[in-house]
Every structure is written in C-alpha cells, then in structure tokens.
Amino acid sequence: MTIRRISALTAVALFSGVVAAQQKIYWADEVPAGWHGQWSAEVQTVAERSGFTRTVSSIQLLEFISALKGKSENIHVVNMFVSPMRKVAPAIVLSNPRVTSAQQARTSGKPVMFLFGNIHPPEPEAAEALMMVARDLAMGARKNLLDNQTVIIAPIFNVDGTDTFETQDGSLGSETPYIQGTRENAAGLDLNRDAVKLQTAEAMGMYRLLNDWDPVLLLDGHLMSRVSHGYANTYGTTTVPAAAPGPRDYTHDTLFPAVREMVRKEFGLEVFTHALPARGPFPPTVWSHDAAAWTVEAKFIVNDYGLRNRLAIITETPGQPTFERRIYAQYAYFIALLEYTNAHAKEMQAVVKKADDETVANVQARAESGQLRNWLDGEYRSRGKIDLLAYRTNVPEYRAGTSILGTRPGTASGPPEVVHGVDDLTMPVGTRDAVVPRAYVLPADMADIVAKLRAHNIKVQALEAPRRVEGEEFKIDKMRKVRTGGYEMTVLDGTFAPLATKEFPAGAFYVDMAQPMANAAFYYLEPQARDGFVGWSVLDDKLRAIGADKGAVVYPIFKVRREVK
C-alpha cells in the first residue's frame, strides 16, 4: 500500500491518463465563480436567493415551476400523487416539442430519462441541482439536451418530509442549510425502503409514473454523511444479482466512465463509485459498497428499478463540504449525464430492448425444462485493485462561538492523497439461486397480492377456466423473523417437493413469466428471495392464515413448469 500527496494538476494526470495543464480541479469546498449563472429573481432557486443557506419547500417548488412555465413552451407538469398531508408531488416533463402524455412521448421515439431528489429531505442538494437543470433545459444554454430525449424531473419526492421543518443538527456532517425537512415521510417511513412492498402513497404514485412513461434511465440523488474519500460526488447502479446483467453492465462499464470524464473535463470535479473505505486506520485497504450501506437488496428504488431491465443510478455527495459545493457536485453530474444520454439515446434504447427480449426468450426456451435459474441473494466481491482519493483526517468541530457543527480547518480540505492498491469490493455476485418457472399460480384469495404485482407493472391474468399444470410446491418447515438493516424480515425455512400435477380453478391468478418483468416477478414471489414479498412481510397475513407460523405447511404460490393437457 503506497500513498502520495498530489496537486490538482497531478490528479488530472493520474486519473485521466494525460497531462492537461489548463484543467483545474476543484477540491473540498471549492466551486468556480459564477457557476450557476445570472438569472432573474423569479427563476432563481431558494438556495441561490439565500446565498446557499436555505433549501426549497414544496410550495416554493410549485412557484418555481410556474415561473418556468411562463418562459418556456417545452414544459408539461405531471402530479405523481397527493401525499398523506395533502401535498402534491410534481414532476416536470421537459421535451422539444412539448409532450403532454406518455403516449405522445412513445410516439416521438425519444427515450425518457427520469431524475428525482429529496427522497430524504435532509439531503436536499439534488433537489436544488435538479431545479437548476430544469431551468437550463427549459430556457438556458442546455436546451439542446432535449433534441434526442424527454427528461422528467421531480425535485421533491418526499413532499411531507420536506415540509416537516426542523433545525439542522449536523448529523450528516454539514453546517448548512440551517433549516430543512425530516428523512422520513409523515408516517415515519423511509421511502427508500419501500421499493418492493409499495406500502406508501408516495411510492405507489411514483411507480404509476414509471409504469406509464417507462423511463430508460432513473436517477435518485442523495447525500452521504461525513466521509474520508476525496470525491465531489459518487455514483452507483443496480446491484441486485437477479437483475438482467445487460443494462447493469452497460451502466457500469460504458456510461459511468464516460460521464466521469465529462464531469472532470467540463466541471473540474473528480467523481467515483458510491462506496466507502472499510473501517480501519489510514490508509484504507478496501473500498466497499457494504461500507456505504449499499446492499444487494431490492428495497432501494434504484436497485428495484434494475429488475425492470432498465438503467438506474444513485448519486451521493459527501456530507462535509458547503451546501453550495454539494449542489454544484450534483448539478455537474446531472448535466454530464444528460449530455451522455442525449448523445447515446438510441444506444440506450437498444440495451434495454435487448434485455427485454432476452428475458422473454430465456423463459420461453428454458423454463419448462427447469434449466433456467436466477439469483435469490448475493454479495460483493473484488473487481481488482484501484487507486483511491482519500483524506487522512476529517474532524467535526463546532464553529467558534456557535453551536453549529462544521469541519476542523485543515482536515478534509485541499487536494486529497492517492492511495494505491485498494481492493474494490463493488462487484455484485449471486450466492443462492432457484429455478425460474414458466409461470406462477396464486389462489383467488390473493387479489391484494395480485394488485401489488400489477402496481409493479407485472402482468397477471385471472384464469377463465380450470387449468391443469405440472410444477413445484415449496414445503415450509418454519416461518421466523430476522432483524436486518433495521427491519424485521420474514424468513421461510423449507425445501421444494418433487414435481407434481395440480389443477387450479377458474378465478386463480396466473403470472406468465414470458414477459419483460419476469426477473422482478421471480424476485418478489420466490419464497426464499432475500427481500421479496416474503421478506418484506407482504405475505405474512396469508402465511399465518394457513398456519405457517405454527408448523409445516405448503407455500400458497405454485411454480408451474408446464401445462398438462
């Protein structure tokens, strides 16, 4: 393990592979002067008007959108939902020419990109940056980024949490803004743990939009807490092993390196993978998704969206830089990403279409024979050794004479050090698998579970006549609860019985797996998936009703290999 102190110029040479004497890299709190431009007051963001000491509320977002609509003919607004506190969550549809429906967007042939923020309102950098991006696309110098794509921007997803104001306590590592919202929604639920179970009005509303508009790419913007790495922003993609590999590999291997170069070249920032050094002394030896709480579970919206054969990205800025710096870092990434997606729109459409086609073809060709399998769980393994930008110290300290928590001068500032030979533990690998059936059959009394599947855009039909099939039953030996990730998860112990023939009556529900959403259906319905419907207790009432909590019973969802005439 070797360490080297670097200058801004050396960093460019090291991380781009070329010496670029004119390229300035901005470190720590640095931002270029005038980076957000000069705008009239009506289309300035709250952060801009307040000198980056305040962040937007839901009513201020509506005022901002209304001002933009008065200056651009390329805007349509979709209200994703009305929250439990009766607040509207708007999504800004930006297109040239304007489209006012998902059908019009499909007819245009242009792919849809969906970017959202404030799933966690104490992480408001993305919301502020997304408003700036919307302004650029609608009336600024970036209008050309609507040439080949439709962009939907929802700056505030968690509207209730955004408007539940509290004074900032520095828990995420920063001293600004001074007033902000709460992480959870009005019911105290974390919306970024609701992607599978869909129990909140907010998640259901967003998923209706996703089902209707079918974005090729989804992005969710976040803030990390105080960190020791030296990057202005970090990015990750879907890591659920059950997701189709094509879109995930394209995102990691093709899109990420290109966007990283654009961010460096156009904005003078270093960005890298959403991970953290494993705990331990400096210098770090491991760079890990697990250390950043980015698990292989589908509970996160970005991870879950990958089960749809689509591209998905999470961004996370460090917590300790100034609010302005964090907004700049998100803005830079969003603009560079949209430059890439605009230039590669057709290529991205081809990636997701290929994944859809292969998903269906694999089921049709291999499911009846039992040869098709997919992953129930996974872990992160090494991609190899990397060079990492890192700070030796990052010390929280109250500003003299105040009760505002900041960062001790001289720590986590200036150019970071380069640590060589760090193990990159960010490659998702499947560890347990199961047979993918040709279909699943659910009993007629599971209409509520079927509604949940349909909310996920999974096609389900009710049998109009009895159907005789051959397949597998899962024998439950024990139903138990395991606390993990802060939640009580359901676990079923048991095994699949040998193939058997059963007849299901009219009215039973049939999930034909020859559909693009097959990977998601498999992950949600399999009895031993890490965090499917069983894990998230969606099926608990059904399981208790048949006595699964008391003794051995048969899992009520049948796996079909083939129809029997």
Sheet with 271-273, edge to edge strand ranges: 75-82, 88-94, 150-154, 112-116, 217-223, 311-317, 233-237, 271-273
Q: Domain ranges in the chain?
A: 53-363, 435-563
What tokens appear for 84 in the block?
A: 């439990």
- Predicted pLDDT at 502: 97
Tokens representing 423? 């193990």
**Structure pTM?**
0.96
Mean pLDDT per 10-residue section of the chain, whose length is 565 residues: 53 44 85 97 97 97 98 98 98 98 98 98 97 98 98 98 90 80 96 98 98 98 95 98 98 98 98 95 97 97 98 97 96 98 98 98 98 98 98 91 88 96 98 98 98 98 98 98 96 97 98 98 98 98 97 97 95
Answer whether 304's CB lies under 8 Å from 195's CB.
Answer: yes
Predicted confidence at residue 22, as pLDDT, reads: 54
How far is residue 125 from each of residues 122, 274, 353, measured CA to CA in Å? 9, 16, 33
d(CA 11, CA 326): 20
For residue 404, the model assigns a pLDDT of 86
pLDDT at residue 4, as a whole number: 60
Angle between helices 58-69 and 125-139 (to 10 degrees): 10
Dihedral class, residue 404 (left if φ above 0, else alpha if ψ from -120 to 50, else beta): beta
**Distance between CA atoms of 115 and 130, rounded to whole angstroms?**
8
**53-363 maps to CATH 3.30.450.80:** no
pLDDT of res. 416: 97
**The pLDDT of residue 21:** 45
